[in-house]
A and B are shown apart, each in its own frame.
Chain A
Amino acid sequence: DVKVTQSSRYLVKRTGEKVFLECVQDMDHENMFWYRQDPGLGLRLIYFSYDVKMKEKGDIPEGYSVSREKKERFSLILESASTNQTSMYLCASRVGGGYTFGSGTRLTVV
C-alpha cells in the first residue's frame, strides 16, 4: 500500500514564524497535493504538483508556497504564519484514480 507520511501530527507556532510542513510518499507518485481542512468548509486545495520542481496554485494559495525538489517529498511553507492559518493540513499523493492521504498536521498559530 502507498504510504503518505506527514512529519508532524501537531504543531504550535507563533504569528510571523516561517513554518514548514513536510510530506513524503513512498510509491514514486508524480502527483502530490496540499489541502487544508476546516469545520464546515470541507477540504480546500492549496497547491499541487505534477512532477519535481513543478507546482500549481489551487483554490486558496495566498499566504502559502510549496517546494518539490524530489519526487517523494512535497513541502508546504507558510512564509509568515498568521492566526487564520490555524487548521488541519492534509497531504495526498495520487496515481490513477483516488488519493492516498497522510494523517494530517494540526497547526495552531498563536
Chain B
Amino acid sequence: AQSVTQPDIHITVSEGASLELRCNYSYGATPYLFWYVQSPGQGLQLLLKYFSGDTLVQGIKGFEAEFKRSQSSFNLRKPSVHWSDAAEYFCAGSSSGGSYIPTFGRGTSLIVHP
C-alpha cells in the first residue's frame, strides 16, 4: 500500500542546533512529496514540495528537504533551529498519477530547548 512514515514521534533539539526530520515513503513510481508545519491550535502550512527535477528542495522559513530515491526518503532539514520552529511537522505523499490526494504521516513533534 502507498504510505508515508515518520519514524520519530518527538524530536528535541537545542536552539541553534541543526535539525533533520525523517520521512520515508512507499510508492511504486516517483511520488509527489510535501512537508507541512502546524503550530499549536493552527491549521497546516506548506513548507515545501517535490514533484520532479532537482532533488534538493528549498522551502520557506529556511527549511530544505532532499529526495533520495535509493533510500525512499524525503528528510526535512534546517541548519539552525529557532525557538519559533517548535511545532508539529507532517510529511505527505501522493502518487504522481491519478487524483493526487496525499497521504499524511502521523507527524513529528519538534521541541526546542533554549
Contacts and interface: CB of A to CB of B under 8 A. Distances in A.
Interface of A: 4, 9, 33, 40-43, 45, 48, 58, 90, 92, 97-104
6 contacts: A42-B107, A43-B90, A48-B101, A97-B34, A97-B51, A101-B44
Most buried by B among A4, A41, A99: A99
B46 A99 contact: yes
Contacts of A42: 90, 104-107
Interface of B: 9, 32, 34, 36, 41-46, 49, 51, 90, 100-102, 104-107
B43 A102 contact: yes
Contacts of B104: 42-43
Secondary structure type dominating chain B contacts: loop
B43 A90 contact: yes
Contacts of B105: 42
Given A42-B105, A97-B49, A103 B32 contact: no
Given A42-B90, A97-B51, A4 B107 contact: no
A21 to B, nearest CB: 13
A101 B101 contact: no
B20 to A, nearest CB: 20
Given A40-B106, A42-B90, A42-B106, A98 B101 contact: no
Q: Which of A41, A90, A97 has the largest number of chain B CB atoms within 10 A?
A: A97
* A-B pairs with lowest CB-CB distance, top 4: A101-B43, A42-B106, A43-B104, A101-B44
Nearest to A58: B101
Contact of B43 (A4, A41, A45): A4
Contacts of B41: 9, 103-104
